[in-house]
Amino acid sequence: MRRRFPQWAGRLGEDHFIDMAVLGQLSETSLTRDVAFEIEKDGLPNTFVPGRNLLFFTFAAAIAWRRSIRNLVGGMCETDFSGYPDCRDNTIKALQVALNLGMDRSFVLHTPLMWLDKSETWSLAQELGGEALVEIILEHTHTCYESKRGPREAWGHGCGVCPACALRKRGYIAWRAGRKVV
């Protein structure tokens, strides 16, 4: 990102990698085990990793606390959140309160994608970084529930058929066609 967008370098800060393999030890889901995708009895997809986004923000806040950073950004989205409770706006607001109390800091948890559909998310990427950022997203990310990188399609990598891939593909196609996903 720094090489491709040098104007952002000063705002990005230094990288900090944390091994989050512990999530696989805490949950048995199709994202952490070799299990086929399905909807569970409670209505949640078996891709739901309980508390994953809560843990991501908590770890980020611990690092931010050390570095005197106040603003944390997450990519959760309630518009197409697949029923994951930790992607809801109210969950993130409650977590912000808990982190602020528990760490005695004034963190602000930003979720710029919260109310965007996938076509609007692609549009935001284009607006922020042009085709260069869109290309980075297409080449270096994937959201496949089957954990398949797969060959590069117009919309990116993945199996192409699971609900996450179908949503990404539909949003990408709608964005390129200039229409909103319904």
Q: Are residues 102 and 143 in the same domain?
A: no
One domain, residues 105 and 46: yes
The answer to whether residues 111 and 145 belong to one domain is no
Where does a domain end: 115, 146, 163? Answer: 115
Buried b (16+ CB within 10 A) or exposed e, 1-21: eeeebeeeeeeeeeeeeeeee
**pLDDT tens string 41-51:** 888 877 788 88
What percent of the chain has pLDDT above 90? 59
Same domain, 3 and 89: yes
Mean pLDDT computed over 82-109: 94
**Same structural domain for residues 91 and 27?**
yes
Which pLDDT score, from 0 to 100, does residue 98 have?
98
64 and 93 together in one domain: yes
Q: Domain check: are 121 and 48 in the same one? A: no
Q: What is the pLDDT of residue 180?
A: 61
Boundary residue ending a domain (115, 130, 162) = 115
Q: Phi and psi dihedrals of 153, rounded to 5? A: -100, 175
- Please tell me the total count of domains within the chain: 2
pTM of the model: 0.86
CATH of residue 80's domain is 3.40.50.620
Q: If pLDDT is split at 50, 70 and 90, which confidence band does 145 have? A: confident
User: Do 27 and 41 sit in the same domain of this protein?
Assistant: yes
Residue 181 — very low, low, confident or very high, per pLDDT cuts 50/70/90? low
Confidence of residue 81 (pLDDT cuts 50, 70, 90): low
Q: What is the pLDDT of residue 164?
A: 87
Q: For residues 164 and 140, give the distance between their C-alpha atoms in angstroms, rounded to a whole number.
A: 16
Residue 126: domain span: 117-182
pLDDT of res. 22: 82
Compute the C-alpha angle 27/148/4, nearest 5°. 105
